[in-house]
Amino acid sequence: MSDQRPQGNYGWLYGEDETTRATPSTSASARPSERPSSQLPPPDLPPPGRRGGGPAPTSGDEPPRPKKRRTKRRVAGILVLAWIVFLVAVPVWAWGKIEKVDADPGGDRPAEQPGTTYLMVGSDSRRGLTKAEQKELSTGGDGGGRGRTDTIMLLHTGAGPDVLMSIPRDSLVQIPGYGRTKINAAYAYGGPKLLVKTIEDNTGIRVDDYVEVGFGGLVKVVDSLGGVEICPTKDIKDKDSGLDVKKGCQTADGRTALAYSRNRHSYATQDIQRVQSQREVLGSIAGEAKSPWTVLNPLRYAKVASGASGSLTIGEDVGPISLGRFALALSSSMGGKGLNCTVPLRDFAVTWDPQRAPKMFDLIAKDQSDQIGSLCTKDGLPK
């Protein structure tokens, strides 16, 4: 076999010194074990196709294989898609739990008006609450019939600032077919239809959509959010509502928030103070609900949707988009960008002011909320 070593002075590569290079025949016939022990080991040569004489890269220095990068991107894409499906599926599932009711009174109603006005009702419905929960929350039993409306609010959204206006439940108004009596009796006499008719007849504002929340919905939503902040101005202990709180800002659970929004006997102004407490609780709920953590936490997201929908009743013509707009407008009106007030009152007996109230109703009906100004006050009384 011929010697295929490269031509030139490469003897050092094969461990040859000057002597062995002088007698190639002797070197060629020598066995490896008989070679001089002083020969140098072959250097670290670069592998074929790699330039330079540096050390060979370790496995940790090797760039990731394209296949691994594709796999990671595929997994990330699947996770993002699953999250989007979850965010969409939960509201769809919750929508199926919402109860629908015919709230259109028909007959002679105000003509279509610019913007959208929602009638928001907080009823004492126990739907979604067990008997044990009713006892714990001091709500009493169903008692038969339609129940009462402890909360009545008009929420208007349009070209100007959003407006949330409370109507004290003890307001004396004309109820069609029943004469002059407290406005919350309209719901007891004829349900949502008669309440909508009564609101429209006494304000001239057309109600576009109807939204009703029962006791259970408020409690469960607050608890799913981990509580909301309330700021009572004095120590309160009321056996009727079950409220027992100290003065100052504090985090309230669902039971306490419900009692706080129902309590009136602890205040000299009674119903006037109660509507302010109700808006305070709503504002805290809106602030917590729009937190990014509500969407980022899947358990909280699902609980909020379930709690709200489980005791929610809406008009038959209210769709998902309209309900979403309602939630956004409610958050806006309570977040400082909109107006939240009580219907203009003349006195602590919650008598509507005969001059100021019609002016405010007219501005809402014309979608001119930017001109309401001092007509909007927290207690309804003039500044």
- pLDDT, position 200: 97
**Coil/strand/helix, residue 73:** helix
Q: What is the pTM of this model?
A: 0.75
C-alpha 120/C-alpha 328 separation (Å) is 14
Give residue limits of the domains in the chain.
99-375
C-alpha 377/C-alpha 357 separation (Å) is 12
**Residue 339 CB contacts under 8 Å (≥ 6 apart), including other chains:** 161, 162, 163, 164, 333, 369, 372, 376
- pLDDT, position 32: 47
Is 197 in contact with 176 (CB distance < 8 Å)?
yes
- pLDDT, position 89: 85
Residue for token digits 């540096």?
Answer: 54
Token reading at 16: 């040859």
Give the DSSP letter string of 31-65.
-GGGS-TTPPPPP-PPPTT--SSSPPPPGGGSPPP
- pLDDT, position 158: 94
* Nearest alpha carbon to residue 191 among 265, 262, 121, 99: 121
Token reading at 22: 């002088």
Look up the CATH architecture of domain 99-375. 3-Layer(aba) Sandwich (3.40)
User: Where are the strands (E) in the chain, listed by range?
Assistant: 99-101, 116-123, 149-157, 163-166, 172-175, 179-182, 209-213, 228-230, 236-238, 243-245, 250-252, 312-315, 339-342
- pLDDT, position 41: 56
C-alpha 323/C-alpha 315 separation (Å) is 10
Burial of 10 from C-beta contacts in 10 A (0-12 / 13-18 / 19+): exposed
- pLDDT, position 27: 43
Residues of the chain with pLDDT under 70: 1-66, 124-148, 335-336
Is 321 in contact with 328 (CB distance < 8 Å)?
no
Torsional sign, CA 218, 224, 230, 234: positive
**Coil/strand/helix, residue 117:** strand
- pLDDT, position 8: 52
In one-letter notation, the amino acid at residue 21 is R
| Digit-coded pLDDT (tens) for 56-114 | 555 555 555 567 777 878 888 888 888 788 777 877 888 888 889 999 999 999 999 99
Residue for token digits 């007698």?
Answer: 23
- pLDDT, position 62: 58
- pLDDT, position 190: 93
Write a three-state SS string for 225-236: CCCEEECCCCCE
